[in-house]
Structure 1
Amino acid sequence: MAWSHYREMIVWQKAMDLTDEVYHLARSLPKEELYALSDQMRRAAVSIPSNIAEGYGRQTDREFRQFLSVARGSVFEVETQLEICIRQNYLSVPDAKTALALCDEVGRMLTTLSRH
């Protein structure tokens, strides 16, 4: 691999930024969503950099790509949950803008990386 540690991967760094943003946004959701949408959104966000790191630690490129695929799925999960928050008027579009942009960026990076 081209990196000596997964922390050097820009996609992992961006995924960590996305996780930070999701945690920030989740704090503003209504209390009734604490153990539902808020919790699910945080877990999906955590899954993204975690799967990138776990895939990096695997021994084959095939396994690495498999974990990148799981991470990419989690990106779409977070994106959908953000859209639900917007539709439920828990978040405004401007509030979610940074997180949605990071979802798009990380998703594209994972797609590109998994093809190489």
Structure 2
Amino acid sequence: MSYEDLDVWKRSARLSVTLYQETKELRDFGFRDQLTRSGLSIPSNIAEGYERDSDAEIARFLTIAKGSAGELRTQILIGIEAGFLHRPDARQWADEAHQISKMLAALIRHHRKKLATSH
């Protein structure tokens, strides 16, 4: 199976594209850069883990992706409170990041379980 077949990769890639599209007019470049970087980190780390092709490496990179999902959610929530993201969509982005995090947690458990039973 390729990472591109994973729903979590598809959803995180779609969220990343949305963040780039919806924040392109944002004038706080530092905030926008940090937001888009953490969003891009999620599907990128999923891909990197699956390209390494071992359960230990996959779990490690999925864990990094999960951390980025938490970082992204935090940035979105702060962006809403700071008035940078006053679109109603921003709350949906935070919810999607949370759902992606849950999906990643399940995949991490799956790969760690496979790793534990292979020894």
Aligned to 2:56: 62
Distance 2:71 2:99 in 1: 14
Q: Which amino acid aligns with 2:85?
A: L
Distance 1:106 1:24 in 2: 19
Q: Which amino acid aligns with 2:104?
A: L
Q: TM-score, normalised by structure 2?
A: 0.86
Contact 1:44–1:77 (8 Å) recurs in 2 = yes
Gaps of 5+ in 1: none
Between the aligned residues of both structures, percent identity stands at 37
Tell me which moved more, 65-74 or 87-96. 87-96
Count of residues in Structure 1 that have an aligned counterpart in Structure 2: 110
Q: Which is richer in helix?
A: 2
Moved over 6 A (4+): none
Gaps of 5+ in 2: 111-119
Q: TM-score, normalised by structure 1?
A: 0.88
Aligned to 1:92: 86
Deviations 1:17-65 (A, max 9, x none): 1102211332242x2x11x110011111111000000000113101100
Distance 2:66 2:55 in 1: 16
Alignment of 1:1-116 (within 5 A): 3=1, 5-29=2-26, 31=27, 33-34=28-29, 36-92=30-86, 94-116=88-110
Query: What is the root-mean-square deviation in Å for CA atoms of aligned residues?
Result: 1.3
Q: Which amino acid aligns with 2:6?
A: M
Distance 2:76 2:22 in 1: 9
